[in-house]
Chains A and B, each alone.
Chain A
Amino acid sequence: MTRESTAAVSTEAPPVSPGLPASTKETIRLDGATVRLAGDSGDGMQVVGGQFTNTSALHGNDVATFPDFPAEIRAPRGTLAGVSGYQVQFASRDIFTPGDTLQALVAMNPAALVTNVGDLEKGGILIVNDESFKAKDLKLARLETNPLEDGTVDDYRVIKVRLDTLNREAVREVEGLSSKLQDRCKNFFALGLIYWLFGRGIEPTLRFVREKFGNKPEVAAANEKALRAGWYYGETTEAFDHSYQVEPARLAPGTYRNVIGNQALAWGLVTAAKLSGKELYIGSYPITPASPVLEELSALKHFGVRTVQAEDEIAAICSAIGAAFGGAMAVTSSSGPGIALKGEAMGLGMILELPMLVINIQRGGPSTGLPTKTEQSDLLQAMFGRNGESPLPIIAARSPSDCFEVALEAWRIATRFMTPVILLSDGYIANGSEPWEIPNMDDLPRISVEHPAPQANGKPFLPYERNERLARPWALPGTPGMMHRVGGLEKEDVTGNVSYDPENHQHMTNVRAERVARIADDIPLQAVDGPPRGKLLVLSWGGTFGACTSAVEECRAGGLSVAHAHLRYLNPFPANLGEVLAAYDRILVPELNTGQLRMLVQSRFLRECVGLNKVKGKPFTVSDVVFKTRELVA
């Protein structure tokens, strides 16, 4: 707990929840901390991690999270493969990442300990359930020796808690609970303990427990008892002589809530539909990590949302194209393998020139790859993953709350230019969460959508007659006098009739490319954070925003001259990007792939860039980027 230089001893008692006494122990004030809860995939670490995040956000801290879990729902108990972790950084200042190193780690078993302890800083707090370090537990984790005794944990402040026994004692009085259900409250005991340790109130979690287990009062009661017992344990145990306090962050005035990336995306889609006077249609097929978008929208039918869980990825996008033809705001969401299946239909959507959104929540590839891990390796798939010349606009979210805004922007572009738009997110921001300043619907700009009025002048309707943006009219079935046919065969410009004419194909290919290129005139110029010219520009996109922002800030604080540009628009690039790049001696492109944006930038601007590339299923740490940046400007 030495990371923060501003740590100071305070005599103030931390705020506590109603029903809990003020802590009598000393409080040390920190400006931030990073905590990880790690256990078996069935131990409920994701639930309590989410609770700790929510409570910290309500406490007023800035928060950033990193849930990390295996692809198996319940991997064999106690094994290394089954470890599930939830990391949260909370601070009294602006933060952009879930933190590089941990100040505190809760390890529910030996497997969780050995797979996570390497991220704990020296002297950091290690809370372990020492009743889960028996011979059989060690064997499950394939450990020859007990890590609590073999020197593994020598560098840390180890707090051994008899979690099984203490938890059972806490929930014993609750009637009608099997011993199995009793033991499942352990995660709330651990949560109570870290709530005490960081001066958090338990009220938000009590509300959560009562609501979630409303129809199982005995389960709600037991979890509440475990939570309180964990808190009191911190207060009474001699292992802790002080607790910590992280003051609220100075966020801009406004009303905030915590949002998860996929939730913000789903809400953004519903909002975009409302702002454009459309009703939302989503055709999707379940796939990690995109399923929560379909799930969230399925629960929002009262907003007029129609969700279809299609029979496969292809049907999902084809049904969305059908809905788009009918005039809906059509969306399909998936991840890399699903997007691969949608390729042909994306080409059709492109040549039909119908507005829709194709969402890719990227995960580790190739093939099935690392379903629950993050990566940015589908950028070139988004650019080129279709047969023929079939350019599509691409836009990428940078953080959980940014998913909301990107959804609005993607739909604005789709309708304005009559084209499918690819929206990229990734597993890291999809599952991560952060505070979001809640917008007011009245303040959000409308998205203007036009449909041609019926025509009865006897003239044939011209479905591929174009406006100044080269966009064609979106005439809807049901409109008299506008009957027309669209299809995947090359079509004559203006009339839309099937055409095999060589000149026409050249012309249409050019027009389709030009239409996407003209989007550059309709989006903001690329902004740069830092000196407008100089030695080094860090050029990032997507979910690496947080790590790059923090790293550049840190480098500048250390006296280095570094600028940072973060791309939201990947195709087309902002109109001034070439000028921006030309103003710096070197360009560093950090990406969670082997150099996909770098390839695009280099080929487009003929500028050599330096890559910082990692494909380990994990986001960049701030220090990854700091290290490389220093190397380039030192």
Chain B
Amino acid sequence: MSYSRLESWWRRVALGQQETEADGDAPVALAEPPDTAARGPAPVALAEPPPGNGGGAAAGHPGRDGAAALAEPPPGNGGGRPVEADVAAEAAAPVKLPVLKAADFASDQDVRWCPGCGDYAILAQMKKMLPSLGVPRENIVFISGIGCSSRFPYYMNTYGIHSIHGRAPAFATGLKAARPDLMVWVITGDGDGLSIGGNHLMHAIRRNLDVNIVLFNNRIYGLTKGQYSPTSPLGKKTKTSPMGAIDNPLHPLSIAIGCEATFVARSIDTHIKHLEKVLRRAAEHRGTAFVEVYQNCNVFNDNAWQYASDRRTKSEHTIELEHGAPLVFGHDRQKGIRLNGLEPEVVALGNGTTEAGLLVHDEKASEPSLAYLLSRLRHEDGFPEPIGVFRAIDAPRYEEELAAQVASARARSGGGDLNALFNSGETWTVS
């Protein structure tokens, strides 16, 4: 689906219209960010009334203002869905999109992660990727829980909530249900997302809200200074497991697939081009996009992902998924993965073994078993670990279903008359 189609889809959803209605043709209008204006490459753009505010000064018209918050997203490109700038701009004769850069997405706050932390790379790729979506910064919200990764929203010049431990998906659920027009990102970690917040992660994914969840997996508790996490391997020695962890580790993508995730992907902090591509795919996905990023904690768990991130070994130890392509990997792409019954196995290509017998990746498969199988391929079991998009299918989104119920109830009952509600049923009059 192209960006422009995504945009028109979003607009219909946000306006509570049926899919069959014509796309809105309102002009695209973006607020000109002051810093961009000062720098000057982008033409001046009009300030669009925000969706929460019937336009301009709010005082004195509470009824109008508030109702607008949910019922009337701004016309044109107010949305949280990506939009292709030039396509949208065609419809917007007098106004042009400002061209934002990565730097425009940086807040004025100093980044306080440890030097060398993998989080820097993820932040950089996010800021690099976002401008290309064409979504105005004011329509983007980053929500995080607690942990090193969860400081992320403070560093983005968007709206943001640094919430409480593990609950970011729940905040995102309420925000997206109330404001389907916003693009919502959840930033979490292996402890935040899988331990204290496991329940919320599970339910956000199964509801398939259109939010993007990025889980920074460093297999350790960093902010509390080095205790084992739900993804720490068995035997891992930490301050709280001096004799080695005895908790079986969780595999984030297997959990996501088990929760009927419609989009599941993995990337690596140091693999920056790949990471940017995966984040973009997540942004484009309609529904909950779950992305695991192998992230290095150089202070408390250095080199936990070295086999996958090291330039010299990564082609042997990872396998880049490509929709419709056979699973081939290795320095010279001479190895592949095939199924032996229900078991995957690594085979050497050549000597009569060809790509024809290999497993072919199908991210659109409605049946999630192969995606699950891929999520189970472990380095320690002698397999390359897949990176890229495991699964990307279309399914109804919670906030759309909810908005549709509201719209259908309104269509049926005529918009809600409180006097009629109060007087429904049996009443009597005293004169």
| Residues of A near any B CB (own CB < 8 A) | 54, 57-58, 60, 204, 207, 248, 250-258, 267, 270-271, 273-274, 276-279, 281, 283, 300-306, 308, 310-312, 314-316, 318-330, 344-345, 348, 352, 438-441, 446-454, 456-460, 476-489, 497-498
Residues of A within 8 A of B67 (CB): 277-279
* Chain A CB within 8 A of B141 CB: yes
Q: Decide yes or no whether B62 CB sits under 8 A from chain A.
A: yes
Q: How distant is the Cα of A54 from the Cα of B425 in the complex, in angstroms?
A: 10
With beta carbons under 8 angstroms apart, the residue of A277, A484, A485 that contacts B64 is A277
Besides the contacts A327-B52, A449-B62, A480-B33, what 18 more A-B pairs have beta carbons closer than 8 Å?
A: A273-B66, A302-B416, A308-B177, A310-B173, A315-B173, A318-B170, A318-B171, A321-B171, A323-B178, A327-B178, A452-B58, A476-B50, A477-B141, A479-B50, A480-B31, A481-B33, A485-B160, A487-B153
Once the chains bind, are A438 and B427 in contact (CB under 8 Å)? yes
Answer whether residue B314 sits at the interface, using C-beta atoms and an 8 A cutoff.
Answer: no
Q: How far is the CA of A479 from the CA of B49 in the complex (A)?
A: 7
- What residue of chain A has the Cβ atom nearest to residue B175's Cβ? A322
- Which of A207, A303, A453, A477 has the most B CB atoms < 10 Å from its CB? A477
B427/A255 in contact, CB under 8 A: yes
* Among B53, B63, B416, B423: residue with most chain A CB under 10 A: B53
* Min C-beta distance of A49 to chain B, whole Å: 16
Given the known interface contacts A256-B430, A281-B177, A326-B175, the answer about A303 and B416 at a Cβ–Cβ threshold of 8 Å is yes
Is there a chain A Cβ closer than 8 Å to B174's Cβ?
yes
| Residues of B within 8 A of A (CB-CB), count | 98
Contact B415 A302 (CB under 8 A): yes
The answer to whether A304 and B416 have CB atoms under 8 Å apart is yes
B285 to chain A, nearest CB (A): 20
Q: Which residue of B lies closest to A487 (CB)?
A: B162
Which residues 325-361 of B have a CB within 8 angstroms of A? none
Q: Contact between B74 and A255 (Cβ–Cβ < 8 Å)?
A: no
Please state if B69 and A279 are interface contacts (CB–CB under 8 Å): yes
Contact of A456 among B47, B413, B429 (CB under 8 A): B47
Q: Assess whether B70 is in contact with A327, with CB atoms less than 8 Å apart.
A: yes
Per the bound structure, the CA–CA distance linking A441 and B419 in Å amounts to 6
Cβ contacts under 8 Å, B167 to chain A: 314-315, 318, 345
Q: Is the CB of B65 within 8 A of A451?
A: yes
Contact check, B50 vs A454: say whether CB atoms are below 8 A apart: yes
Task: Specify which chain B residues have a CB less than 8 angstroms from the CB of A446 in the assembled complex.
Answer: 62-63
A273 vs B178: C-alpha distance when bound (angstroms): 13
* Cβ of B422 to closest chain A Cβ, rounded Å: 5
Are the CB atoms of B53 and A476 closer together than 8 Å?
Answer: yes
B32-A456 in contact (CB<8A): yes
* Residue from the list A207, A438, A447, A450 in contact with B59, Cβ < 8 A: A450
- Distance in angstroms between the alpha carbons of A278 and B38 in the assembled complex: 37
Q: Are A300 and B416 in contact (CB under 8 A)?
A: yes
A180–B425 alpha-carbon span in the complex (Å): 30
Cβ–Cβ < 8 Å partners of B143 in chain A: 322
Select which of B60, B137, B414 is within 8 A of A302 by beta carbon.
B414
A348: B residues at CB distance < 8 A: 163-164
- Complex contact A267–B430 (CB within 8 A): no
B175 touches A255 (CB 8 A): no
> Would you call B73 an interface residue if the criterion is a C-beta within 8 Å of the partner chain's C-beta atoms?
yes
In the complex, what residue of chain B is closest to A310 when comparing beta carbons? B170
Q: Which residue of B lies closest to A352 (CB)?
A: B161
Are B409 and A301 in contact, with the CB atoms below 8 A?
A: yes
Interface string of B392-431 (1 = CB under 8 A from A): 0000000000100110011011111011011101111111
Nearest-CB residue, chain A, relative to B139: A478
Q: How far is the CA of A328 from the CA of B140 in the complex (A)?
A: 17
Query: What are 10 contact pairs spanning A and B, CB under 8 A?
Result: A253-B430, A278-B69, A304-B70, A306-B406, A310-B173, A318-B174, A321-B174, A323-B174, A327-B69, A479-B138
Does B62 lie within 8 Å of A277, measured CB to CB?
Answer: yes
* Contact assessment for A322 and B423 in the assembled complex, using a CB-CB cutoff below 8 Å: no
